[in-house]
Amino acid sequence: MKIGSDIASVQYLRAIAAISVLCFHVSETYGLEFKVGAAGVDVFFVISGFIMWITTAGKPIGPRTFMWRRLARIVPLYWIATAATFSVAVLKPQFFFNTDASVDNLIASLFFLPVIKDEALHPVVEQGWTLSYEMFFYLIFSISLLLPEFRRLWFLITALVAASISHYLLPAGYVSVFTQPVILEFSAGVIVGYLWKQGFRLSLGASIGLMVVGILLLASDPLSHFDRAVRWGVPAVLLLSGAVFAERERAAPKLPFLHFLGDASYSIYVWHVLTGILTTALLLRVGVPHAAQPALIAAGSLAFAIICYLFIERPILRRMRPVRPQPA
């Protein structure tokens, strides 16, 4: 059974989500209207719940092994990106408007507990707030691995729902921030993963219908007055569900470059703000007209992020991959 990166539609969604967030940040800088690009984060959260479930279900993976694998996957690149961003922010603070480049926030960011402003996390790497939520989810998920599989499912759902309810009862602080309803997107992904592993099927037409509805909800934004977990979480769940169940009925088209971007999505996500700033500095130096800057910054940021994937993330992954014993 295919898991993880073998599911082409998940790879494609990863790529689209990362590029959407990149374009959102560029458009935000230039006052352009692309708020929906921020929904790429919600797609990532739903995918995370889905992947964590399908890669652990039916396997003897304990909490320690699970957390070590997740830390090994997330931390090295994030720490490098945080150190690089901090260095540039100290040297060129004029390019960073809302970044707290204090040593205290640097250390706190490395441990996924950055400063809180206006009930939101503000790490050195601006978009790194999502990784703090990922770590919170991983912690709950690792505890669930102590339980039998079916109880694990209900534990995850109950824990995340209870946490999101407690958000409205808790005083301001880290506990209140980490229990925001956006964490429900992880539980939605877990449920989709459970159904997928159980062999659940939807017709191709119904699956495509789910994706179409998800896209329409994002494009028209009729849920804008709801919390993020509804506004963008619901479309994200529809997109992922439709994509994976459609692929179960019919193989997804082979799109090698989009698949590659899915592999590089973590690097694109982690590096794109810094690479966007570097691209902006280069464009300003050569005198590129203002109107042409957003598209060129998006393209340059993506290109530099891909270079970071090829020469930083991929070598790290190769070094940390367990060595398999050679047959005698």
DSSP code per residue over 157-183 = HHHHHHHHHHTTTSPSSHHHHHTSGGG
Among 272, 277, 268, smallest CA distance to 314 is for: 268
What are the pLDDT digits (tens) for 211-249?
A: 999 999 999 999 999 999 999 999 999 999 999 999 999
Beta partners for 117? Answer: 120
The band of 45, judged by pLDDT with boundaries at 50, 70 and 90, is very high
What pLDDT score does 322 carry?
A: 62
DSSP state of 116: E
Mean pLDDT confidence for 78-95: 95
Of the listed ranges 96-100, 106-110, 252-256, 311-315, the one predicted with least confidence: 96-100
What pLDDT score does 325 carry?
A: 45
CB 227 within 8 A of CB 84: no
Displacement of CA 146 from its chain's centroid (Å): 26
The band of 261, judged by pLDDT with boundaries at 50, 70 and 90, is very high
The band of 171, judged by pLDDT with boundaries at 50, 70 and 90, is confident
Distance CA 41, CA 18 (A): 8
CB 47 within 8 A of CB 13: yes
